Structure 1
Amino acid sequence: MTVVNLQYYAQLREQAGASSEQLHTAATSLQELYEELRTRHGFSLAAEALKVAVNAQFSAWDRPLRDGDTIVFIPPVAGG
């Protein structure tokens, strides 16, 4: 199991009911992790609609997870 730190913003924060959490996961990639979180929290956005950052760097969805990673899934931004 890998331990990761997650931060949620906007719609994802509302759906998760929290702005952050620490998670023990068997997921091996960011894609697998997001699918696990969609099931866990009922996230309505598909991965294709998001950007993802790991340790403050934008990342590819197939990046392997490492213990202690801080992961942010970034939903689309609406502006006005």
Structure 2
Amino acid sequence: MISVLLFAGLAEKAGKQQIIIQKDQTTIDEIKIELQEVYGVDAAQNVMVAVNEIYTRGNAEVRSGDTVAFIPPVSGG
């Protein structure tokens, strides 16, 4: 299983902060597609992605036991 963590507006849109994906392996792009199709969450633009607390770029492969975090930009004043 792969744990997907959502923060800020992404979590609000999905209605949850954590999603469990029951796969042995997948890719970041496949997770983004599932987030869009199942939860209506658009994680394709301007989102930082970390796998096991290490930021990644591109379409990294993810395996069972990994934790993937989708972190949107944060603004403040």
Cα gap change, 1:33/1:27 in structure 2, threshold over 3 Å: closer, same or farther? farther
Cα gap change, 1:46/1:4 in structure 2, threshold over 3 Å: closer, same or farther? closer
Residue 53 of structure 1: aligned partner: 50
**Paired residues for 1:1-80 under 5 Å:** 3-25=1-23, 28-43=26-41, 45-80=42-77
Name segments (4+ residues, structure 1) moved above 3 Å: none
- Alignment gaps of 5+ in structure 2: none
The share of aligned pairs that are identical, in percent, is 35
Higher strand share: 2
What TM-score comes out, normalization by structure 1 length?
0.84
Aligned counterparts of 1:61 and 1:77: Cα–Cα separation in 2: 21
Aligned counterparts of 1:76 and 1:36: Cα–Cα separation in 2: 21
What TM-score comes out, normalization by structure 2 length?
0.86
**Which one is further off, 47-56 or 17-26?**
17-26
**1:26 Cα shift?**
7.7
- Alignment gaps of 5+ in structure 1: none
**1:46 Cα shift?**
4.7
| Letter aligned with residue 73 of structure 1 | F
